[in-house]
A and B are shown apart, each in its own frame.
Chain A
């Protein structure tokens, strides 16, 4: 069965069972589930610059997520970045030293503000 036929068959079957949302089936041919190994791409990008803020961001942010997450954020303003960095530290347990929270927030605000 090609995809179109399968979809058509499903549609007809659903029409026949219109009263119920669930369609009971014994799939004609079950999928084959095989042991699967994958390699996930890695990001090699880092926060730009060699300021204390860039160093702190590279040390504490990239443990959990790639830099693109930050680069794709809008210009949220310094206060919002402070909230975000504190959330990473307190809720998500990023091991950011207390005195580096504002350093990182200021740094991100500076690279966002620039555009």
Chain B
């Protein structure tokens, strides 16, 4: 199998060279020149150098966060290409190292069991034949996307902002599949388990659950296609769960077991793993705070990013300059994206691009005239429910749900 190597590393390299030419100092650059296959993210306090890799099957050039089990981050310049994240550059996140490296879609099955009238088992081809196909554009974002920016820093995958992606997913409604099995009265949650396994047999398998009404809302899907292609193995081939508007921890890859429960799931991966302080949408607490109630992470919150300019970029001063980015509303659509060039004192509107549905990335553009010198660009998304990105970052020990207004500092010359 051969895959065309994308030109992203060239872009990253060029950005680094630009930053270097400006002499932006230690916050942005290593003291010594970075090797061509390295990027600097940059994360406060370090270490923030990462290797670029294209050694992973069916993946292009990715930021290597961890080799085993793989944590691969999407280079940020990819998000400027458009609202749909190329499949081979879509981020990768696995929990356990025993990942099937051979997958035959003819034999891999998902079982529907537990609190149902009849247990069923489907291959992907069974699903294709038996149920109505649906297509939905939706953002998949790791609960800990941007964890590396938490201060004080917390343990975990030290991502920059590239643990997210947007795709058009094709599959079947989980509701239709559950209805075929017949959910019994008294069902409380539906639990999902994929094919990955821990190396240590006694360690807890990754299992995640949704309330039964959520699982049957007609939006949660089992998908075998993303952006017109089959899923790369590392993104969950042959099919994965799609939970629009919710963090990726629920989007079980290589879906193997769907189990209807007549009780709330209390397994390790629901609690204490992947929990947030019980004050959504903030997910916020003071470091060291005692007696905080934690609940399973759930709906996403709005975010926005500048994508055509990176911190350290040189832009012409005194004339209208294009600023472009992406935004998403979290668990609902994007109402507006505004831009501030005065540290958040005043905000100007931006033009929203095509609407691919409320769970998708949405592109935004505007033009700004910048005075000479270092200038900050801040983008702020307000979603359709009126929820707006905050100006101060949240903190929690898991490093989850960052959605503060991000700042890109450019040099107008």
| CB closest chain-A residue, reference B226 | A31
A93 touches B202 (CB 8 A): yes
| A11-B356, A25-B170 known; A63+B57 contact, CB < 8 A | no
Q: In the complex, which of the residues A10, A24, A72 contacts B137, with contact meaning CB atoms closer than 8 Å? A: A10
The stretch of B31-39, B62-70, B109-117 in contact with A is: B62-70
A37 to B233, CA, bound (A): 8
| CB closest chain-A residue, reference B173 | A22
Question: Within 8 Å CB of A40, what residues of B?
Answer: 56-57, 68, 70, 99, 101
A65 to B97, CA, bound (A): 7
B67 touches A43 (CB 8 A): yes
A65 touches B359 (CB 8 A): no
CB distance from A59 to the nearest CB of B (A): 13
Question: Within 8 Å CB of A65, what residues of B?
Answer: 66, 68-69, 97
Taking residues whose C-beta sits less than 8 angstroms from the other chain, chain B's interface range is 35 or more
CB distance from B103 to the nearest CB of A (A): 5
A27 touches B135 (CB 8 A): yes
B132 touches A24 (CB 8 A): yes
The stretch of B45-53, B187-195, B294-302, B368-376 in contact with A is: B45-53
Asked if B358 is at the interface (CB within 8 A of a chain A CB), the reply is yes
A72 touches B158 (CB 8 A): yes
CB distance from A113 to the nearest CB of B (A): 12
Question: Within 8 Å CB of B357, what residues of A?
Answer: 14, 21, 23
B47 touches A71 (CB 8 A): yes
Asked if B343 is at the interface (CB within 8 A of a chain A CB), the reply is no
CB distance from B215 to the nearest CB of A (A): 15
| A26-B133, A73-B158 known; A95+B200 contact, CB < 8 A | yes
B200 touches A93 (CB 8 A): yes
Question: Within 8 Å CB of B58, what residues of A?
Answer: 38
A95 to B202, CA, bound (A): 10
| A41-B56, A92-B203 known; A6+B230 contact, CB < 8 A | no
Q: In the complex, which of the residues A25, A33, A94 contacts B135, with contact meaning CB atoms closer than 8 Å? A: A25
A42 to B357, CA, bound (A): 39
| CB closest chain-B residue, reference A4 | B82
CB distance from A30 to the nearest CB of B (A): 7
Q: Mark B137-162, 1 if CB is under 8 A from A, else 0.
A: 10000000000000001110110000
| A31-B224, A38-B57, A66-B66 known; A115+B135 contact, CB < 8 A | no
B170 touches A27 (CB 8 A): yes
A63 touches B199 (CB 8 A): yes
B224 touches A33 (CB 8 A): yes
* Across the A-B interface, the 8 shortest Cβ-Cβ residue pairs: A38-B57, A43-B67, A74-B153, A93-B203, A33-B105, A66-B67, A66-B68, A35-B104
- With contacts A14-B356, A41-B53, A64-B97 known, what are 5 further pairs, Cβ within 8 A? A36-B104, A40-B99, A76-B153, A92-B198, A115-B47
List, sorted by A's number, 18 A–B pairs whose CB atoms are closer than 8 Å: A7-B168, A14-B356, A22-B219, A31-B230, A33-B230, A35-B102, A37-B101, A38-B234, A40-B70, A41-B53, A65-B97, A66-B67, A72-B47, A73-B155, A74-B46, A75-B45, A76-B155, A84-B155
